[in-house]
Amino acid sequence: MGVAKRTRKFATVKRIIGKRDARLKENKGVADAANKKKAQEEANDEIVREIPQMPSQMFFAHNTALVPPYNCLVDTNFISHSVSRKLSLVQASMDCLYAKVNMFITTCVLAELEKLGPKYRLSLRVAKSENFQVLKCQHKGIYADDCIFDRVSKSRIYIVGTDDKDLQRRLRKVPGVPIMKVARGKYTIERLPGAVE
């Protein structure tokens, strides 16, 4: 059996505290001032977040402003899917909600239907019928999804009729806004308190 070799230890010196170390009494005041300054800078960099005040008709996620007769704000694809499945918008929505329904459409949705051309002329004729009340828009552009989202988030008195997945995803983030959609030859309602699905 061989003898284990021992390695020599190089530079074994006692550690000395530096002159600028914060543990020394002379440097205590300097370190405290630096820490206070750093804390103030961090406090100034904090993001100030404001929580928007909820409307008075909201009771947690329950919207007390949604009472019969319901106001239904419809989208372009909701009208076109209803027409393709041969559903009467007012009658089918009354069958879904078991109450009277006032149908609303914005000028952006009408402009979008006009822009889609002759393929959607029947949907445009349905939208221009006397069953719909037209809501005037004061903003620029004709992008209907933004218009509907802004209108609903400002006043939560509407049930939104849409089949657009992106708009539905955006509307689910707004509490108290039910979504009506076309499914299998009838309308279904989502997030309406007391609704049977």
Tens of each residue's pLDDT in the chain, 197 residues:
677 777 766 666 667 778 777 777 777 766 677 777 777 777 776 666 776 677 777 766 678 888 889 999 999 999 999 999 999 999 999 999 999 999 999 999 999 999 999 999 999 999 999 999 999 998 887 789 999 999 999 988 999 999 999 999 999 998 889 999 999 889 999 988 766 55
Residue 66 lies in a domain: yes
Q: Which domain holds residue 169?
A: 58-190
What's residue 121's pLDDT? Answer: 94
Domain assignment present for residue 87? The answer is yes
Q: Strand 101-106's sheet: what is its strand order?
A: 132-135, 101-106, 70-74, 158-161, 179-183, 186-190
Q: Determine the pLDDT at residue 1.
A: 62
Does the residue 86 lie in any domain? yes
* pLDDT given at position 197: 53
What is the per-residue pLDDT for 186? Answer: 93
Query: In 10 A of CB 30, how many CB atoms?
Result: 12
Query: For residue 48, what pLDDT is reported?
Result: 62
Which pLDDT value is given to residue 91?
A: 95
Kindly tell me the sign of the dihedral angle through the C-alpha atoms of 69, 75, 78, 83: positive
How many independent structural domains does the chain possess? Answer: 1
User: According to the model, what pLDDT value does residue 175 have?
Assistant: 87
CATH number, residue 93 = 3.40.50.1010
For Cα atoms 75, 175, 195, give the angle at the middle one, nearest 5 degrees: 75
The pLDDT of residue 189: 94
Q: What is the dihedral of CA 80, 82, 83, 85, to 10 degrees?
A: 120
Which residue has tokens 């300097």? 30
Strands 62-63 and 101-106: unpaired
Q: What is the pLDDT of residue 47?
A: 66
Residue 72 to residue 84: CA distance in whole angstroms: 20
Domain presence at residue 104: yes
Decide if 125 is inside a domain. Answer: yes
Q: What does the pLDDT read at residue 60? A: 64
Q: How far apart are CA 107 and CA 147, in angstroms?
A: 9
- Is residue 165 a part of any domain in this protein? yes
From residue 98, give the alpha-carbon distance in Å to each of 31, 87, 91, 187.
Answer: 72, 16, 10, 12
What pLDDT is recorded for position 21? 77
CA-CA distance, 109 to 134, in Å (whole number)? Answer: 10
Q: Is residue 40 part of a domain?
A: no
* 85 CB-contact burial (10 Å; exposed 0-12 / middle 13-18 / buried 19+): middle
